[in-house]
Structure 1
Amino acid sequence: MFPCSPDGARATRQRRPLAAHAHARARDRSGHLARGAGWDGALGSRAGPAPVRGGGPPRDGRPGVRRERGAGRHAGLDRIGRLDAGAGTVEVEAGIEWPALIGGLAARQVGAERPLTIAQKQTGADRLTIGGAVAANAHGRGLAMRPFVADVESLAIVDAEGEVRTASRRQDAELFRLAVGGYGLFGVVASVTLRLVPRRKVERLVSLERVEDLMGAFSRRVGEGCLYGDFQFAIDESLPNFLRQGILACYRPVSPRTPLPARPRELSRQDWRGLVELAHTDRRRAFQRYAEHYLATAGQVYWSDTHQLGVYLDDYHRALDRRLRARVPASEVITELFVPRAALPDFMAEAAVELRRRGVVVIYGTVRLIERDGETLLEWAREPYACIVFNLHTEHSPQGIAATSGAMRSLIALALRRGGAYYLTYHRWASAAQVEAAYPQMREFLRRKAERDPAGLFQSEWYRHHVGLLGPSRTPRVEERRARRYA
C-alpha cells in the first residue's frame, strides 16, 4: 500500500488508495458503483460504466471534442512516497504529473552524493500523469531505452472487483502485462513504483543531418555515450529537403562538476509562439529559425531530467486562428509511426510524396528511437524501431477531417508495408485491417478485458471504438452488451 513520510500514521498513509478501494467495492445490485462524494468527483454524475482516461496523451482522433472524465484521471492522487535509494525506486501516486515528480525528487535529495531521477517521460507536454504514462506505455527521447514498462517496478491497482492488487513481474504478472499499456481498462492505478536512474548533467550535441545518414549518426552518438536524442525534420513541402533533412540533438553525460549556464540560451514562450505561427505561414523560415537556435546551443549543459521538460502553449490554435483570420478553426493532430530502422529513408521518401499529393500540412515532426518492449500484451515496440511523429494541420470541417484521416491511414499503410506499426494512443482512424495487422494481439487483449471485467465497469471511447471495429470479444459466460450500449 502507498506509504507517505516516515512519521505519517498508517491510517493516513493508506487513506487515498483505501478510499478508492472502498468506493469500488460499494456496488449496487446492478453491478454499478454506489458512488460516494469522493468517487463522484472522479466519475461525474452519471450512471453506467466508469469512463477511464489516464491523464496521458489525448486519444481522440477528432479535434476539439470533449475528452472523457473519469477514474483514470487519478484526481488528488499526487503524492511522492518512499524513495529507496538502495533499490533505486520510488513509489508515487498515479495522479502526480512530471514536473511535480521531478521537482519533488530533487528536493528530497538535496546534498545527496548520487541523486536519482526519472529515466524518461513523454515529450511535447509536461502536465501528464504517471498513471497516463502507464496506461499508454509511453516513451521519451532515450536513445537505447524501451517503452515506459521498463521503468515500472510494480503497480497498486483497484480491479473491477474493487480489490487493491499489487502487480509486478513477480506478483500477478498477468495483470502487470495487461495493465501497462492497457489504456486503463483493467482497473484504477492507485500508485506506481518507479525504477530510477542517476541524475546527471548532460551536454547537448547538435548536427545537421540527412535522413539517409540518420541511423549512422544516431549510432555514432550512442557510441559516444549519449543517452538521449531526437531529430526534427524540415517541414516545408515545397522544398526538396522536406522530411529529408533535419537537426539532430543528442545529450551526452559530462562531469558532475561541470557548471550549468547562468543564463542558458533557450526559446521563450513568445519565441515558441512565433515559431508556431511561422510553421503555419512560412515553414521554410520556421525550420531555419529552429535550426539556427539549436546549432547555437551546441555544448550547453542541462540536467538529464529537466532537459526533458518543455514549453506547451495551451489553446495556442485559438489565438492563432484569430490572428490569421482563419475561416475555419483548426488544430494539429498527432500520429506516430514505427518502422524498422533500416527502412526509415524509404518510408520518409514515400511519406513526403503522399503528404504532398494529399495537400496535408506538417506543422512539426520528429524521429526518435525505441528498443523492443518484450513484456506487455499490447506491445507496440515489437523490435528496435525508428519512431516518426507527425503533427498534421487539421481544419475542423468534414473536408479537413477527411483529409487528415486519409493521410493517417496512408501513413499507417506505409509503415505496415515495411514491417512496422503505429501508436494506438493518438487517433482512431486506422481501419480494422490496419489495427489487426499492427496489433495481431488486439483480439486477445479485448478477450482478456472481457474475462477480467465482464460487467464492463472500466470503459472509454477508445475501448468502445475497438470493440465496435473488431466485434465483441466473447468468452464463455461473457457478453459485452455494455460496450455496445454505450458506443
Structure 2
Amino acid sequence: MKKIVVLLLLTALCLWQYMRTSVAGDDPFLRSDYSKLRPVKIERVVPSKAVSQLQEIVSEAREKGLKISIAGQRHSQGGHTYYKDSIVLDMTPFNKVLAFDEMAKTITVQSGATWADVQKVINPYGLAVKTMQSQNIFTIGGSISVNAHGRDIRNGSLIRSVESFRLLGSDGQIRNISRIENAELFPLALGGYGLFGVIVDVTLSLTDNEVYEMTSETMTTEAYSDYFLNQVKQNPDIHMHLARISVAPDTFLSEMYATNYRTRPDLPVTDYNQLKLKDTYVLPLKFLFGLNRSFDWAKNAFWDLQRYFLIGRSTILTRNNAMRSESDFMDYNSDTKNDLLQEYFIPVDHFEDFINHMKPILQEEQLNLLNITVRYVNHDEEAMLSYAKSDMFALVCLFNTPLSDAAQARMTHGIRRIIEQLKLFNGSYYLPYAPFPSVEQFRTIYPKAETFFQAKDQWDPQHLFMNQFYDDYRGH
C-alpha cells in the first residue's frame, strides 16, 4: 500500500511540474532555437518542399538583399539556424530517401530526412549507420552541418561517413561536392554551420547492423583513461562506448561508469532487429531528472539509481537500436530557465588533469551541472573547423541555468574560465552551442577560423547565408 501511495504522489508531482513549466505558443515571427536565448524577428519561415522552390528563394534573396538561414530540428543552441530579418528555410519537409544501394552500402537522402528515416529503410537489409548522435531525431543536413559524432569508437566524426552531397550556393547553382569534385567546398560546408549554402541531399556510406551485449562498470575518473586505452580501445570486439561522470555532490567528478557494446556474432541480427519505438520509463525518469535540476539530494539519488539499473546487468540489442532516442526524459519547458549544453574535447592523456582543473571552477561558479556524458572521438582534422585535433574524449556537459541577463553573465564568466583550462591541455570545444566562449578563445582554439571566414567571403560575397554564429565569431 505504501508503494502505491508513493507512486501516486510522484505522479501528481510530475503532472504539477509539467503544468508549471509549460510554455505558451511561439510568436511565428520571433525566432530563437533550443536555447531560448536571443530571440529576433525574422522575415518569414518557408517550409522547403522542392529544389526549384529553394532556388527561387535564393534568387529572391539575392535580388532583394535579404538573408537566408537554414533550420532542421533547431537543436543547435548558438543562433546557427536564424538571423534578424532573414528568410528561414525549414528543411524538415524536405525529407525523401532518393536512392539506396544495398550492395554498395550507400544511401542518398534529402537533407531534411532524419536518422530515423534512414534507419527505417536500411534496417530490414541488415545495415546500419556508421556515425550519428545518440538520438535519431536530428536531420541529416543538420548533423553534417555540425560534423556530429556519437558513441561509435571506430568510425570517427560524421565527415568520414559522407561520400558526397549537393550544395545550393548563393549564386543559385547546385554543385556536386565530394573529395574529388569541388573538393575545396567539402571541408567548408561539412561542419560549416549553414554558411556556405543549402545542403540539398547527401550520400552516406553505411555499415553492417550487429548484435551487441551492453554492459556497464564503475571506476574512478583517475582510472578512466587507462581503462579506456587498455580495456576498451584495445578490445576489437567493443565497437561502441560511452561513459558518465557523477555530478552528485557526494561523488562529484570523482566517480564514473562506462558502458560498452561488445559484438555478439553468435547471435543472428534477424532475431533482434525490430526497431524499438519508444524508450521505457520516460515519465518517472522525467520526474526524477526534474528533481535533479533543483536538489542536491536528488542528484545523489539519481546517480545511485543509474548505477543500480546498469552495473552488473547486460542487455542484448542491435546497433540500430543502440542509436535510437534515449533522452526524451530530459525534455524541459520553462519560461525562465533552460538546460544548455557545452561540450569540451580533451586529449585522452589529459583527461584526469582537465577534470581536476574544471572541478573547482564548477564549484566556485556554482554552475548547476546536471550531467556529463563522455564519448571518444578519433583524431580527424578534415573539416576546416575540426574539433578533433588528436584522439580525444568529448565531455558533453548539460547545465540548467536561468535565462536572465545576470544569470547568463555568470554562466559566461564560468564557461570562459573552463575554456582557459582547455587551452592549457590543447583541448577544444564544440561550436553548435551557446556562444559563451570569447572571440579570442574561439580564434585560439580554432586557428583555421580566419581561413574559413575568408572562404565564406569568396563563395558567398553577398553574405546571403547568415546566422548569429557568424556575427558572434567573425570578429568584432
Q: Normalising by the residue count of structure 2, what TM-score does the alignment of the two structures yield?
A: 0.82
**Residue pair 2:79, 2:468 contacting (<8 A) in 1 also:** no
What letter corresponds to residue 32 of structure 1 in structure 2?
Answer: E
1:187 and 2:221 are equivalent in the alignment: no
Q: Which sections of structure 2, spanning at least 5 residues, go unmatched?
A: 1-48
1:165 and 2:172 are equivalent in the alignment: no
What letter corresponds to residue 279 of structure 1 in structure 2?
Answer: N
- Higher percent of residues as strand: 2
**Residue pair 1:337, 1:421 contacting (<8 A) in 2 also:** yes
What letter corresponds to residue 211 of structure 1 in structure 2?
Answer: T
Instruction: Provide, for residues 338-383 of structure 1, a one-character-per-residue CA deviation record: whole Å limited to 9, x for no partner.
Output: 1111110111112111101111111111111101123111111111
What letter corresponds to residue 162 of structure 2 in structure 1?
Answer: V
Q: Quick one: distance in 2 between partners of 1:267 and 1:75?
A: 27
Q: Quick one: distance in 2 between partners of 1:299 and 1:260?
A: 15
Q: Give the equivalent residue in structure 1 for 2:66.
A: 48
Q: Give the equivalent residue in structure 2 for 1:116.
A: 127
- Indicate the percent of aligned positions where both proteins have the same amino acid: 21
Residues 71-150 of structure 1: matches in 2 within 5 Å? 73-106=90-123, 110=124, 112=125, 115-123=126-134, 125-150=135-160
Using the TM superposition, give the Cα deviation of residue 309 of structure 1 relative to its aligned residue in structure 2, in angstroms.
1.6
Q: Quick one: distance in 1 between partners of 2:434 and 2:52?
A: 34
What letter corresponds to residue 307 of structure 1 in structure 2?
Answer: A
**Residue pair 1:185, 1:449 contacting (<8 A) in 2 also:** yes
Q: Quick one: distance in 2 between partners of 1:120 and 1:68?
A: 35
Q: Which sections of structure 1, spanning at least 5 residues, go unmatched?
A: 1-14, 34-46, 322-327, 472-487
Using the TM superposition, give the Cα deviation of residue 223 of structure 1 relative to its aligned residue in structure 2, in angstroms.
2.8
What letter corresponds to residue 318 of structure 2 in structure 1?
Answer: W
**Residue pair 1:409, 1:429 contacting (<8 A) in 2 also:** yes
> Equivalent residue of 1:293, what SS?
helix
Instruction: Provide, for residues 19-45 of structure 1, a one-character-per-residue CA deviation record: whole Å limited to 9, x for no partner.
Output: 423543x347xx336xxxxxxxxxxxx
Instruction: Provide, for residues 445-468 of structure 1, a one-character-per-residue CA deviation record: whole Å limited to 9, x for no partner.
Output: 11110111011110011112212x
1:310 and 2:325 are equivalent in the alignment: yes
Instruction: Provide, for residues 307-355 of structure 1, a one-character-per-residue CA deviation record: whole Å limited to 9, x for no partner.
Output: 122244489433xx6xxxxxx8211111001111111011111211110
Q: Quick one: distance in 1 between partners of 2:89 and 2:128?
A: 25
Using the TM superposition, give the Cα deviation of residue 69 of structure 1 relative to its aligned residue in structure 2, in angstroms.
7.9
Please, which of 166, 187, 200 is the counterpart of residue 156 of structure 1?
Answer: 166
> Equivalent residue of 1:83, what SS?
strand
Count of aligned pairs: 419
Please, which of 231, 234, 237 is the counterpart of residue 243 of structure 2?
Answer: 231
**Residue pair 1:52, 1:68 contacting (<8 A) in 2 also:** no
Please, which of 317, 337, 346 is the counterpart of residue 344 of structure 2?
Answer: 337
**Residue pair 1:156, 1:192 contacting (<8 A) in 2 also:** yes
> Equivalent residue of 1:157, what SS?
strand
**Residue pair 2:346, 2:426 contacting (<8 A) in 1 also:** yes
Using the TM superposition, give the Cα deviation of residue 437 of structure 1 relative to its aligned residue in structure 2, in angstroms.
0.9
> Equivalent residue of 1:177, what SS?
helix
Using the TM superposition, give the Cα deviation of residue 158 of structure 1 relative to its aligned residue in structure 2, in angstroms.
0.5
Q: Give the equivalent residue in structure 2 for 1:400.
A: 407
Q: Quick one: distance in 2 between partners of 1:294 and 1:70?
A: 46
Using the TM superposition, give the Cα deviation of residue 164 of structure 1 relative to its aligned residue in structure 2, in angstroms.
0.8
What letter corresponds to residue 116 of structure 1 in structure 2?
Answer: L
Using the TM superposition, give the Cα deviation of residue 18 of structure 1 relative to its aligned residue in structure 2, in angstroms.
3.8
Two-structure CA RMSD over aligned residues (Å):
2.7
Using the TM superposition, give the Cα deviation of residue 414 of structure 1 relative to its aligned residue in structure 2, in angstroms.
1.1
Instruction: Provide, for residues 136-183 of structure 1, a one-character-per-residue CA deviation record: whole Å limited to 9, x for no partner.
Output: 011111123321100100001101111111000011101111110000
Residues 8-23 of structure 1: matches in 2 within 5 Å? 16-23=50-57
**Residue pair 1:54, 1:183 contacting (<8 A) in 2 also:** no
Q: Normalising by the residue count of structure 1, what TM-score does the alignment of the two structures yield?
A: 0.80
With over 3 angstroms needed to count, the CA separation of the structure-2 counterparts of 1:142 and 1:315, relative to structure 1, is: closer
Q: Quick one: distance in 1 between partners of 2:168 and 2:420?
A: 38
Q: Quick one: distance in 1 between partners of 2:166 and 2:194?
A: 13
Q: Quick one: distance in 2 between partners of 1:384 and 1:196?
A: 23
Q: Give the equivalent residue in structure 2 for 1:271.
A: 284
Q: Quick one: distance in 1 between partners of 2:139 and 2:344?
A: 23
Q: Give the equivalent residue in structure 2 for 1:324.
A: none
With over 3 angstroms needed to count, the CA separation of the structure-2 counterparts of 1:266 and 1:127, relative to structure 1, is: closer
Residues 26-65 of structure 1: matches in 2 within 5 Å? 26-27=59-60, 31-32=62-63, 48-55=66-73, 57-60=75-78
With over 3 angstroms needed to count, the CA separation of the structure-2 counterparts of 1:268 and 1:261, relative to structure 1, is: farther
1:294 and 2:325 are equivalent in the alignment: no
